[in-house]
Structure 1
Amino acid sequence: MFWEPLRARFTREALTRSFVALRIRDYRRWSIAQLLSGAGAAASQIAIAWLVIELGGDGIALGAVTACMMLPTLLLGPFIGILVDRHTRRAVLLVTAVAQMLIAGVLAALTFGGALELWMLMALSLAHGVAFAADNPARQLLVMDIVGRERMTSAVSMNEVIINGARVIGPAIAGVLLVVSDAGWCFVVNVLMFVPSIFVLLSLRPVAPAGRTEPADSTAAAARPIGAWRFAMHTPAIRATLLLAVCASACYNIAVVVPLIVADVFHADGGTYGALAVAFGLGALPGAFFSATGPTMPRSAEVRAMAVAMAAAVLLSAGAPTLPLLFVGLAAVGMVVMWFIARANAFVMLSTPTAIRGRVMGIWAMALPGSTVVTGLLIGGLADLTDPRIAYGAVGLVTALVVTLSWRGLRSAR
């Protein structure tokens, strides 16, 4: 019974459905550009986390840097779509790409000049978070503009593969650079990796926004997020999945606790942290692939199963007594967390009425990754008070508790 749905994912029909978006030339070009820019961003994140340690920061500092990066997404989640709707997606993405390039350039200059301080890292992370808050929804809508609605499911699945491919390439680059040179080169790589995205965006035909909010509708528009919140909180399956998304965000955010495990528990260097991040990304790749070959409409049973596996994998990683076992554990975490995220994301999207789908997905963005503003600080603080492995284990225990409490809500979905 277990193998039958898994085997169904590898039929010719399932594989064709997964990769159909790649038939479109502009989408192929955009995907390659996104793989490169994502790899640069991942390398930059590895460097930032390690610089926090080198600057004398602790778990709270790591959590604070993550919080600064995600705070705009948490605060602006349901409202940022207004900006995206009023301008072409290409224009928004050009602005956010240039902004992120400039931030990476400033980080490189400060690092090479030896002038970087912890407060500067937090301020620049906050600036990056503002750009990311607008970049994320605009990127998703641009893909829909390129591939059309009939290929959107394939494009979303391919996006997960691209994200995790970047999580392999970027940390691998960062791990090498942290060993042989300076963290500043990771930021230089990030700057260079944005260049292909800008070239592709400039070559795309501008696509007008799907619709503009008229002045007469401004009052109704301001009230719309409230309706989306009411729907999300009063639909048991959606509410349960959003709670689990917060747990998944904490499981996925290895930038807070893993550097502490590397430095304080195993007394290793930045190269080891980079290699562990690569293992996480390598594990996430098959998770993204399994989600891509699944049925168009995810089942709540699959969401539950992945949430249970997610809690178990985190607990095993937290208790890993040796570095090789930690590599294996984090690869397992990457696989099941990515599988859960992809299927839960689609489950919420397809279970939501079309009229409020965008606003509910804004709430999803607040849960994942926006909730890392809070969970990163809590995990970092617990790591400082106790032990980083205990802190990561607590994430697994809380996830298991939320799964238990949410079981009935998920079963109510049809």
Structure 2
Amino acid sequence: MSIFRSLRHYNYRLFFTGQSISLVGTWMQRVAISWLIYRLTGSAFLLGLVTFLSLIPSLVLAPYAGSYVDRHNKFKILIITQVILMLQAGALALMIWFKHYDIFWIAALSLVQGLVNAFDVTARQSLMVNLVEDKEDLPNAIALNSSVFNAARLVGPALAGVILSTLGEDICFIINFVSFIAVLGCLLMMKLKLAEHKKSTENIWVDLKKGYAYLRTSPDLASMILMMAASSLLVIPFTTLLPVFAKDIFSGTATTFGWFESAAGFGAFFGAIYMATLKAGQHLQKIIIISALLLAVSVIALAISPSLILALICTGLAALGLMAQTSSINTYLQTHADDLMRGRTLSYYIMAYQGVLPIGSLLMGYFAHQFGTQLVVAFEGVAGLLIVAAYVYYEKHKSEFRQNAVSVS
């Protein structure tokens, strides 16, 4: 089938297989940590704080990581980061196994995960173009990678919900630790021939500035990254507050939280499947606008949902829109960025997505604590509509913006 056409490439097939297994464990751990923190503290703010610590390094380190990845062997970087992430998961599993419920160390391990992920995600995204020999299959490979991520988001939380209710959080962490064996095994079986770029002799911070200058001369790329940053700050943090919807608003248990995460995974999975069916060169800007609108409207509907079933449906639709938006932006950047600047361009995307998100999570967690979760989530949806309006306005008047930028310079 054409939807799976990128799987005909040996290296990508191995990458896809390893990720399929490992990501289930990753999502189980994410759900277990969120539930554990909220169960122990009952604080929406601390829930946002742990998310903040796990993602904030991407804001600070992503541009540096992009320059570093462009200078070094991205495959070796990926192997190293996966080993460290496996050890981090093992440390967390041991701590919870021995019932050492220390919020400080849980937060510290989340910070370690964030530091490593700043390099891991950049290397993984930059490597994607080297896993498929036929570049016509690259958009399909990116979309399938998103689909396996979101399929894991569907399966992982569902399993986590059952395990949390029966066996406890520690089993979720142990499963995640073991799942890294699959991804490391598949990576070591690959047969990659990476083109050696001439290593820059300039200071790495000079390379970083070149990446910023490149984006300034590429307004289509920059506008998408700015849109992603605004969404990460004001809209996407609704996902951090899902445990509050499950436990407090709908008086549920860990299983109910698993339903919310699985609903999000279900919607995002279908969004990824849709993206995988697209042919190379289709109008991605249009998809970005429509998907961002779906995200914003669904988040508003989630905030005012009177029943659990309706809230789950809205969560799924919001995740579908979010997935299509992020995948479209990712695909556009990967297919339009210069080869020598791809790592740096993607690092700014990662900074805008995963780096700004923790700030948004912390802010929205604090505002939810002060003003109520439903009111804050409704605000996030309205903010999403304003972001789409700003992007559409820019697209219609971008020639004027470019002329003004040239005259200023």
Q: Quick check: TM above 0.5?
A: yes
* Cα 1:259/1:154, change in 2 over 3 Å: same
Q: 1:117 aligns with which of 102, 110, 114?
A: 102
Shift of 1:219: 7.3
* Cα 1:143/1:355, change in 2 over 3 Å: closer
Shift of 1:143: 3.0
Quick check: 1:335 aligned with 2:312?
A: no
Q: Which moved more, 1:176-185 or 1:91-100?
A: 91-100
Q: Which amino acid aligns with 2:177?
A: V
Whether contact under 8 Å (2:238, 2:380) holds in the other structure is: no
Aligned counterparts, 1:14-413, within 5 A: 16=2, 18-148=3-133, 149-205=135-191, 207-208=193-194, 210-215=196-201, 220-231=206-217, 235=219, 237-249=220-232, 251-297=235-281, 298-354=283-339, 356-412=341-397
* Cα 1:155/1:231, change in 2 over 3 Å: same
CA distance in 2 between counterparts of 1:53 and 1:91 reads 37
Question: What is the DSSP-based 3-state SS (H/G/I as helix, E as strand, rest coil) of the residue aligned with 1:320?
Answer: coil
Q: Which amino acid aligns with 2:145?
A: N
Whether contact under 8 Å (2:216, 2:222) holds in the other structure is: no
Whether contact under 8 Å (2:272, 2:323) holds in the other structure is: yes
* Cα 1:350/1:408, change in 2 over 3 Å: farther
Q: Which runs of 5+ in 2 are unaligned?
A: 400-409
* Cα 1:254/1:267, change in 2 over 3 Å: same
Q: Which amino acid aligns with 1:318?
A: A
Whether contact under 8 Å (1:85, 1:212) holds in the other structure is: no
* Cα 1:412/1:286, change in 2 over 3 Å: farther
Q: What is the aligned length?
A: 396
Q: What residue number does 2:403 align with?
A: none
Shift of 1:140: 2.3
CA distance in 2 between counterparts of 1:95 and 1:142 reads 14
* Cα 1:402/1:175, change in 2 over 3 Å: same
CA distance in 2 between counterparts of 1:317 and 1:347 reads 29
* Cα 1:203/1:351, change in 2 over 3 Å: closer
Whether contact under 8 Å (2:56, 2:354) holds in the other structure is: no
CA distance in 1 between counterparts of 2:187 and 2:113 reads 20
CA distance in 2 between counterparts of 1:218 and 1:378 reads 32
CA distance in 2 between counterparts of 1:231 and 1:340 reads 23
* Cα 1:145/1:242, change in 2 over 3 Å: closer
CA distance in 2 between counterparts of 1:373 and 1:321 reads 28
Shift of 1:225: 3.1
Q: What residue number does 2:402 align with?
A: none
* Cα 1:209/1:387, change in 2 over 3 Å: farther
CA distance in 1 between counterparts of 2:84 and 2:363 reads 30
Q: Which amino acid aligns with 1:244?
A: M
* Cα 1:175/1:83, change in 2 over 3 Å: same
Whether contact under 8 Å (2:66, 2:345) holds in the other structure is: no
CA distance in 2 between counterparts of 1:192 and 1:180 reads 20
Q: Which amino acid aligns with 1:320?
A: S
Q: What residue number does 2:404 align with?
A: none
Question: What is the DSSP-based 3-state SS (H/G/I as helix, E as strand, rest coil) of the residue aligned with 1:327?
Answer: helix
Aligned identity (percent) is 27
Question: What is the DSSP-based 3-state SS (H/G/I as helix, E as strand, rest coil) of the residue aligned with 1:325?
Answer: helix
Whether contact under 8 Å (1:90, 1:207) holds in the other structure is: no
TM-score using structure 1 length? 0.89
Deviations 1:333-384 (A, max 9, x none): 1111111111122234445455544322221111112111210011101110
Whether contact under 8 Å (2:155, 2:262) holds in the other structure is: yes
CA distance in 1 between counterparts of 2:128 and 2:279 reads 20
Question: What is the DSSP-based 3-state SS (H/G/I as helix, E as strand, rest coil) of the residue aligned with 1:314?
Answer: helix
Whether contact under 8 Å (2:63, 2:208) holds in the other structure is: no
* Cα 1:219/1:239, change in 2 over 3 Å: closer
Deviations 1:137-193 (A, max 9, x none): 222233322213343222111111111111111111111111111111110110111
Whether contact under 8 Å (2:93, 2:177) holds in the other structure is: no
Deviations 1:291-310 (A, max 9, x none): 22224233423322222221
Q: Which runs of 5+ in 1 are unaligned?
A: 1-14
Shift of 1:226: 3.3
Shift of 1:413: 6.4
Whether contact under 8 Å (1:85, 1:209) holds in the other structure is: no
Over the aligned positions, Cα root-mean-square deviation in angstroms equals: 2.2
Whether contact under 8 Å (1:89, 1:209) holds in the other structure is: no
